[in-house]
A and B are shown apart, each in its own frame.
Chain A
Amino acid sequence: MLPIRAEAVSYAAGGAAILDEVSLTIAPGAPMLILGPNGAGKSVLLRLLHGLLRPEAGRITPAAAIRGAMVFQRPVLLRRSVLANLRYPMALAGVSRAERLRRAEVALAEVGLSALAGRPARRLSGGEQQRLALARAAALEPEVLFLDEPCASLDPAATRAVEEIIARIATRGTKIVMTTHDLGQARRLAGEVVFLHRGRVVESALAERFFAGPASAEGAAFLQGELLW
């Protein structure tokens, strides 16, 4: 699957341009954080890369229907047990029955939900739900995992738990591509940064370089907290 290349990708909705000739390459390595103010087009870019949306111009390779796995800002859990939620996408992906069970157990242990395997998934707390969504995606053992603001609606403790899980998934060799508006989180997780502003990639750099001193004025303003949209 990797590298995934976006070449001059544009996208518009309702006549308004959301992305304008975005190019980037997702290669194996440390997590890629897509940063930018609200309305920059981060979520749309993630959906294009994952394959949920089709670019209106430009192209994304490889040309698979769906690339990697994805976790949404608000986890979409099936109205089933925790365990059944884990198994469902694996069954769709053609994972054998025994392997499904094995991976589900491992994933549940990893996110600390083993004791809740039989619970209705939608009765879990917000943090537990997001951990389950992460476990569900990780159990697919994707080469690349897209995360769209996974901690946006979580309290600090739940956020830390989720960050730990993300870091662990990353060290196993899964490429993380994640959007966030939380600069602290970005500093903690990022290996590389793509800075998006008004639908354009303004900067693309290693995390240390970006946080040490952005090359662009917009990047600098964003780090100062002065770039609101």
Chain B
Amino acid sequence: MQDLGSAFMAAIALVRDGDAGMLAILGLSLRVSLAALGIAAVVGLPLGALLAVARFPGRRAVVVALNALMGLPPVVAGLLIYLLLSRSGPLGHWGLLFTPGAMVIAQAVLITPILAALSCGVLEALWEEYAEALRSFGAGPWRAVPTLLWDGRFALLTVLLAGFGRASAEVGAVILVGGNIEGFTRTMTTAIALETSKGDLPLALALGLVLMVIVLGVNALAQGLRDVALRRAG
């Protein structure tokens, strides 16, 4: 109980003082997660939409595989990226290991299947409604993809938020490929892991509270924008 109390006090102090170190870490966390979300969205959402409209042999297998990849342990994803980006690995010449870029890749790899699988589910329902009309307009599956992505934009926002939540909460992969380097690749989650292992549980918990508040804020903001837009656009 005492620990929880002091964690709250420490969290308030961190925010009140605008602790520069924490703000930098927070900024990096947000930049990395948003960049990963951007990449994952560009790949995952069209993939999900295509899976929702296309009918081809093996489609079910792809959907099952995507659903399974949603549960990919972050450490495994991190390890794969690590081996790829290592100087001994095939992409070693990029020089990305232990940089924020590597963390972006790792998070993007983790959340792309999530975005694809969830958007496929959301857009399948929309496609069921639209399929005849779009075919009547002469739109094939390729043309239907951008239409579904646009018309499903409000539902897809929720999908994006799920991806963002997973990315910003992730620690196993980013600590492996980022190295938790102070001032360079230390994010909120790796800082929490570090403070925990230093035994400073109140500080670790305080950082966790700050992260939760930020993620909550991002969600609230997005939902608010969505509600406004929904009222306008239906």
Contact = CB atoms under 8 A, between A and B. Distances in A.
Per the CB under 8 Å rule, do A and B touch in the complex?
yes
B143 interface: yes
Interface string B126-148: 00011011011111000100010
Nearest to A79: B151
A50 B138 CA distance: 11
B151 A76 contact: no
B138 A92 contact: yes
Contact of B135 (A66, A80, A120): A66
B233 A70 contact: no
Given A52-B132, A72-B132, A92-B143, A79 B234 contact: yes
Main secondary structure of the interface of B (DSSP, over half): helix
Given A78-B147, A78-B151, A70 B136 contact: yes
Interface residues of A, number: 22
A123 B233 CA distance: 9
Contacts of B135: 52, 66
Contacts of A93: 137-138
B55 interface: no
A65 interface: yes
A70 B129 CA distance: 15
Among B132, B136, B138, B232, the most chain A Cβ lie within 10 Å of the Cβ of: B136
Nearest to B153: A79
A204 B37 CA distance: 60
B133 A76 contact: yes
A206 B147 CA distance: 42
Contact of A76 (B130, B150, B232, B234): B130
A123 B143 CA distance: 25
Contact of A72 (B133, B152, B232): B133
A121 interface: yes
B233 A79 contact: yes
A190 interface: no
Interface in A176-195: none
A69 interface: yes
Given A52-B136, A92-B143, A76 B233 contact: no
A121 B234 contact: yes
Contacts of A123: 234
Contacts of A81: 233
Contacts of B139: 92
A122 interface: yes
A126 interface: no
Nearest to A89: B137
B151 to A, nearest CB: 4
B228 to A, nearest CB: 13
Nearest to A119: B234
Nearest to B151: A79
Contacts of A65: 138
B133 to A, nearest CB: 4
A122 B129 CA distance: 13
Contact of B137 (A80, A88, A120, A122): A88
B36 to A, nearest CB: 28
Contacts of B136: 50, 52, 66, 69-70
Contacts of A119: 234
A26 to B, nearest CB: 17
Q: Which 5 A-B pairs have the closest CB atoms?
A: A120-B234, A76-B133, A89-B137, A79-B151, A123-B234
30 contacts: A50-B136, A52-B132, A52-B135, A65-B138, A66-B136, A66-B138, A69-B136, A70-B136, A72-B132, A72-B133, A76-B129, A76-B132, A76-B133, A78-B130, A78-B147, A78-B151, A79-B154, A79-B233, A80-B150, A81-B233, A88-B137, A92-B138, A92-B139, A93-B137, A119-B234, A120-B232, A120-B233, A120-B234, A121-B234, A122-B234
Given A93-B138, A122-B234, 7 more contacts: A72-B132, A76-B133, A78-B130, A79-B233, A80-B233, A120-B234, A121-B234
Interface of B: 129-130, 132-133, 135-139, 143, 147, 150-152, 154, 232-234
Interface of A: 47, 50, 52, 65-66, 69-70, 72, 76, 78-81, 88-89, 92-93, 119-123
